[in-house]
Structure 1
Amino acid sequence: MKRTVFSALLILILGAALFADDYTRMIEARVFKLVNAERVKHGLSPLQNSETLTLVALNHSRDMVKRSYTSHVNPDGLDPTARAKKAGFNTDKKIKNGIRRGVGENIYEHQAIMVEDGIHKPIIDPPFTVSEKAIDGWMNSPGHRKNIMNEGYTKVGTGVSVSKDNKVKITQVFF
């Protein structure tokens, strides 16, 4: 009996972890695809995925969940460029008239709420819904849109994390 209960609990825990990984990966992939679709629609080259920038983005999303904040600057005072440098990413790029320094970053927080009998309950929206809302929000924000449409950017990394109260944090880092 104990073995059956333990096995059932283990399956539930592993299933939840696998669901969370699949859920965040689906959002990451969809955001990457939608950002590139916007770029191509406007005559720009698609961005290439960068493993290092993906790790920088994922770590930032996880940190925002862990320490309950939503900001481009973490509680330790590190901005996107400082976090990228700390991860070993060279943030200097040679351009026609000199060197461009730094990375661009878009962040997005999403939480769906269901009201049942007057009680507000956080729920999980489907990955497509979350992704499309993030892109819509970014494309309607001048600063975020500028990052997506920056012809000087050629690489991107996207990372997603979900809090216990179902807040989805998305970070996208551009170079």
Structure 2
Amino acid sequence: MVVGANSKIEFFGLPKGNEMVTSANLEGEQEVLALINEERIRLGMTPLEWDEDLARAARYHAYDLATQDYFDHQSYDRSGGKLVEVGGTFDRIKKFYSASFVNSENIAAGNESPKATYEQWFNSPGHYDNMFNKSSKKVGLGVFYDENSSYGSYWVFCTAH
């Protein structure tokens, strides 16, 4: 199943791993990656390599955050108007990516530009550590917009060894 940036909700919660959310801002995803890799190189680190499965996991979570209108690393469904947790961060990511150990996830909301998202993560110690973890080799990013959600834009970053 493929869902575009302006599609109505067709799935939510813990994925099966075959869901395909198209990028709402492919250039923005690549711009965030370029900013991260520029700093990794400046620090003497290996640049992160794009992984499409991690990107699918990131895009799925950005979609879920926007369409279900929540902001959390865990995955939720709505039941009777309330959020019910259905799975953890790595449970969700591993549905899409099973090649190696999943390292981390950053999420951001409300940022209108890739640079603002990068700077938010850069200035947060935990998010910074995730972006510049020496053991991280692979990365995927996802962006989804929903004007009817609390924050409008949702950005997700996932890494693996």
- TM-score scaled by length of structure 1: 0.68
Which ranges of structure 2 fall in alignment gaps of 5 or more residues? Answer: 7-21, 77-84
Q: Deviations over 1:25-69 (max 9, x none)?
A: 121111111111121111111000001000000000000011001
Counterpart position of 2:106: 106
Tell me which of 86, 95, 101 is aligned to 1:86.
95
Is the contact made by 1:81 and 1:91 (CA closer than 8 Å) also made in structure 2?
Answer: no
Q: Does the 8 Å CA contact 2:139/2:159 hold for their aligned counterparts?
A: yes
Alignment of 1:57-136 (within 5 A): 57-75=58-76, 76-92=85-101, 102-110=102-110, 125=112, 130-136=113-119
5+ residue gaps, structure 1, are 1-15, 93-101, 112-124
Q: Does the 8 Å contact 1:84/1:91 carry over to 2?
A: no
1:51 pairs with 2:34: no
Higher Cα Rg: structure 1 or 2? 1
Given that residues 23 and 144 in structure 2 are in contact (C-alpha distance below 8 angstroms), is that contact kept between their aligned partners in structure 1? no
1:155 paired residue number: 138
Q: Which amino acid aligns with 2:144?
A: S
Partner of residue 33, structure 1: 34
**Alpha-carbon deviation of 1:157?**
0.2
In structure 1, distance between residues paired with 2:64 and 2:157: 14
SS at 1:103 equivalent: strand
Q: Secondary structure at the match of 2:25?
A: helix
Counterpart of 1:114 in structure 2 is none
Identity of aligned residues (%): 27
Shifted more, 160-169 versus 32-41: the winner is: 160-169
Task: Name the SS for the 1:40 alignment partner.
Answer: helix
Deviations 1:131-162 (A, max 9, x none): 11111111111100001110000000000000
**CA deviation after TM superposition for structure 1 residue 78, in Å:** 2.0
Contact 1:85/1:91 (<8 A) preserved: no
Amino acid of the residue matched to residue 136 of structure 1? E
Give the TM-score taking structure 2 as reference length. Answer: 0.74
Alpha-carbon distance in structure 2 between the residues aligned to 1:79 and 1:135: 24
Structure 1 residue 81 displacement after superposition: 1.1
